[in-house]
Structure 1
């Protein structure tokens, strides 16, 4: 999903070298993306803009704020995280940064204890002055969510459907093999047998 997020946000067309670098990183590293924040509501578009922010400093950014639902953040090697640019006159101006999840100063709070989804480890992630160098910038611009929601839904959401399609296909394969191999006591045909077949 993370790479489709970057493609949908426009990284492939804006900076082909940076997109290629990210593609290379995904070969040997698990990636995550953390965008959700407390108080956001997908029904009210303006609430999706990040309240976590960066201060632009010499050589990079200092990060502040809280992200929630950091699915697989702890398991991933890198995460793509979106922040608002502090003091920007444009309320939608944001920056996507590539963050090494194992670096000192990355704080994860164990807030995720949802029955049935515990394995996703969607904990909260806190930033309190963590410095990220300028070269870790993936994208900087305005109105990323507008682009993601309107122009890249086909690329963004197929990542979910492909997972569920794979699960369903595996379930059907298993059921077929089970019914072909299981012979009830007292019968010579497997459970999958039907006189018309």
Structure 2
């Protein structure tokens, strides 16, 4: 059986929407896109590279898959993230039967995520990392399918935007933490 780890950037008030670029996700009139950019440093980069070097599959919601793969595969080479993303087995949770996946090693999991991801987790050995994908993450947490959370907690409060957590209680046990030079606290948690 596989294990599912969520890897997400969040603000102190739990917002996860559009950390990477100003135009990343303006849904709901969100105007703070790119909020994580000023906090990038070598510590966070090394931590992300460490996780990517462990291999394993990547799981996305379809919007995050389209955005993230589209961005990283159009970024000028050389880029270690592009190579790792393209090479990895990618699974896309979606309700759309007509979804088109344009990148190699990509498989659609069509249906309700709580069902399709539960089957994937049961059938696949090794790690499965969820990148972004807030709606998917909330559904997986509610279904009890998340084993670990890696949260990059940025010292910032936005007051608006899509949040990582909803009303589902989650008990966590801190496994590891480190602080970047820009004040981001990287917490690795096991879900109890």
Question: TM-score of the superposition, structure 1-length normalised?
Answer: 0.28
* Higher Cα radius of gyration: 1
For CA contacts below 8 A with separation 6 or more, give which structure has more relative contact order: 2
Give 1 or 2: higher helix fraction. Answer: 1
